[in-house]
Amino acid sequence: MRIGMFLSYAGGFREAADEVAELERAGVDLIVVPEVYSFDAVSQLGFLAARTSRMTLMSGILQLYTRTPSLTAMTAAGLDYVSDGRFELGIGASGPQVIEGFHGVPYDAPVGRTRELVDICRMVWRRERVVHQGRNYTIPLPADQGTGLGKPLKLINHPVRERVPITIASLGPKSVEQTAEIAEGWLPMFYHPERAEQVWGASLEAGRARRDAELGPLDVFASPALAITDDPRLVEAALASVKPNLALYVGGMGARGKNFYNDLIASYGFASDAERIQDLFLDGRREEAVAAVPDDLVRAISLIGSPAEVAERVAAFARSGVTTLNATPLGRDADERLALMSGLRRIVG
């Protein structure tokens, strides 16, 4: 099992690079750089490529709507080049709040766009002339839509690899099924190992049945919060620190009836809790929404507790099929995060 870590949205690139270099020496396999309405991920990934030599660097995630498929492929090939073949392309649809509210782009056809983007990226990396006639992307534009001067082009440079690994962030049944069919990796959010089979098992099985053997086994990610401590007070503080983010996603990332994360938590068996969190959050009672997040939910999707308790949860994630633990260490500074990730490295082995 690989272990990785999400970098924070905030903070300086240089400070982050110093921390990542220490994490690499401690045996961390993977660093994932997010991109929401923050600094772009590509700048930081390029900076980290120059400061590391072994670990994998991954975008987590580049959004489907904010770059053309060809630009996404060019960016991935460039990051793979500057990292000597250590880049993984994490992509996903994000959500309407970011795509429409920050970028001003319609949030439409996420499943179809994902498949077309993956096809085009792999075409670019193989240095084929890019010709694609899809529902969402047409390359090159026909004469009646463009200048009439467009002709198929191929990437000038020779990529390090003609297949950069692609990990897709997905939650819904159709998108998870497609991910299991076409991607090297799957990045769900709020992964509950004891409920994963019940929620996603049928979709994963259907996708894997159509999977190209050349892709290899699906790399299944989980992204738990991490706190390893024998002190009950610190355990309670760690559990409490996870709740605001859960309340934000379950309560605020979408309207009533249109919130992917609320639906997910309800499918785990917390339907009444999810409804109450959303009602409180959308009514502006955010502190009460945070307090309504159950401890049992936080414990299930996290690695929080004594070394023995964390080892037990690691084993549960492994039994459910997780192959990459991409943790968020709940440390107050770089030294505490390093200690937590080192502790996880010892537990995982």
Provide the token pair at 316: 């549960």
| pLDDT mean over 219-245 | 98
The answer, yes or no, to whether residue 11 has pLDDT greater than 80, is no
Query: Who wins on pLDDT, 15 or 236?
Result: 236
Q: If pLDDT is split at 50, 70 and 90, which confidence band does 268 have? A: very high
Residue 80: half-sphere exposure toward Cβ, Cα within 13 Å: 21
SS3 (DSSP) at 43: helix
**pLDDT per residue over 17-75, tens digit each?**
999 999 999 999 999 999 988 899 999 999 999 999 999 999 999 999 999 999 999 99
The answer, yes or no, to whether residue 119 has pLDDT greater than 90, is yes
Q: Which amino acid type is present at position 276?
A: R
Tell me, what's the pLDDT at 321?
A: 98
Question: For residues 204 and 202, what is the distance between their CA atoms, to the nearest angstrom?
Answer: 6
- Percent of the chain scored above 70 by pLDDT? 99
Tell me, what's the pLDDT at 221?
A: 98
Tell me, what's the pLDDT at 143?
A: 87
Asked whether the CA dihedral 285, 288, 294, 299 is positive or negative, the reply is positive
| pLDDT mean over 267-296 | 98
Q: Whose CA is closest to 62, among 79, 82, 83, 42? A: 42
For tokens 């053997």, what's the residue? 213
**pLDDT per residue over 166-199, tens digit each?**
999 999 999 999 999 999 999 999 999 999 999 9
Provide the token pair at 123: 């075409």
The answer, yes or no, to whether residue 10 has pLDDT greater than 80, is no
| pLDDT mean over 106-125 | 97
The answer, yes or no, to whether residue 315 has pLDDT greater than 90, is yes
| pLDDT mean over 104-111 | 96
Tell me, what's the pLDDT at 219?
A: 98
The answer, yes or no, to whether residue 253 has pLDDT greater than 80, is yes
Contact, 299 vs 316, CB < 8 A?
Answer: no
- Percent of the chain scored above 90 by pLDDT? 91
Residue ranges and CATH numbers for the domains of the chain are 2-226+306-348 (3.20.20.30), 231-305 (no CATH)
> What percent helix, strand, coil does the chain show, rounded to 5?
50, 15, 35
CA angle 152, 62, 163 (to 5 degrees): 55
Tell me, what's the pLDDT at 95?
A: 86
| pLDDT mean over 82-98 | 94
Contact, 168 vs 183, CB < 8 A?
Answer: yes
Q: Give the number of other Cβ atoms within 10 Å of residue 27's Cβ.
A: 15
Q: If pLDDT is split at 50, 70 and 90, which confidence band does 258 have? A: confident
Crossing angle of helices 307-319 and 334-348, in 10° steps, is 60
Q: If pLDDT is split at 50, 70 and 90, which confidence band does 148 have? A: confident
> E strands within the chain?
2-6, 30-33, 56-59, 62-63, 87-92, 132-133, 138-139, 166-169, 185-187, 219-222, 225-228, 303-305, 324-329
Tell me, what's the pLDDT at 9?
A: 66
Tell me, what's the pLDDT at 328?
A: 97
For tokens 């390359």, what's the residue? 139
DSSP state of 173: H
CA dist 2 to 202, 303, 347, Å?
Answer: 25, 15, 12
Tell me, what's the pLDDT at 8?
A: 81
The answer, yes or no, to whether residue 257 has pLDDT greater than 80, is yes
Tell me, what's the pLDDT at 37?
A: 87
Q: Is 256 exposed, middle or buried (0-12, 13-18, 19+ CB in 10 A)?
A: exposed
Which of 21-35, 136-150, 166-180, 225-239 has the weakest average pLDDT?
136-150
Decide: pTM greater than 0.85: yes
Provide the token pair at 72: 């996404």
DSSP secondary structure letters along 187-223: E-SS--TTTHHHHHHHHHHHHHHT--GGG-S-EEEE-
Residue 85: half-sphere exposure toward Cβ, Cα within 13 Å: 6
